[in-house]
């Protein structure tokens, strides 16, 4: 059940990190460095649509924008800065 803004922020973090991960090579993993969220209106229990796009992709840094919508209206947005690190780096 969706009951806090933390749930929306977690969804946006998963969404943006998943897209950043999709740009990674086989031996890279994604770590969120920064997540800026804006909550635009209350979300209701029900279906939420998600979309994301890459704003910029560098050698190690990926900037991604994400949006959660409900009933055709944006509920929350976020921009994330993610770092791609080699999986074998410790």
pLDDT tens-place string over residues 10-62 = 999 999 999 999 999 889 999 999 999 999 999 888 899 999 999 999 999 99
pLDDT tops 90 at residue 82: yes
Q: Give the torsion sign (CA, 17, 2, 36, 32).
A: negative
State residue 55's pLDDT score: 97
Q: What is the mean pLDDT of residues 4-11?
A: 84
pLDDT tops 70 at residue 69: yes
Of the candidates 71, 34, 16, the residue with the CA atom closest to the CA atom of residue 8: 16
pLDDT tops 60 at residue 86: yes
pTM equals 0.86
């Amino acid at each position: 059940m969706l009951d806090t803004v933390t749930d929306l922020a977690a969804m946006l973090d998963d969404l943006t990190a998943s897209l950043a991960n999709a740009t990674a090579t086989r031996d890279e993993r994604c770590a969120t460095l920064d997540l800026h969220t804006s909550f635009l209106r209350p979300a209701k229990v029900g279906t939420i649509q998600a979309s994301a796009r890459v704003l910029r992709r560098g050698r190690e840094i990926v900037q991604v924008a994400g949006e959660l919508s409900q009933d055709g209206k944006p509920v929350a947005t976020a921009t994330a800065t993610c770092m791609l690190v080699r999986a074998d780096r410790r």
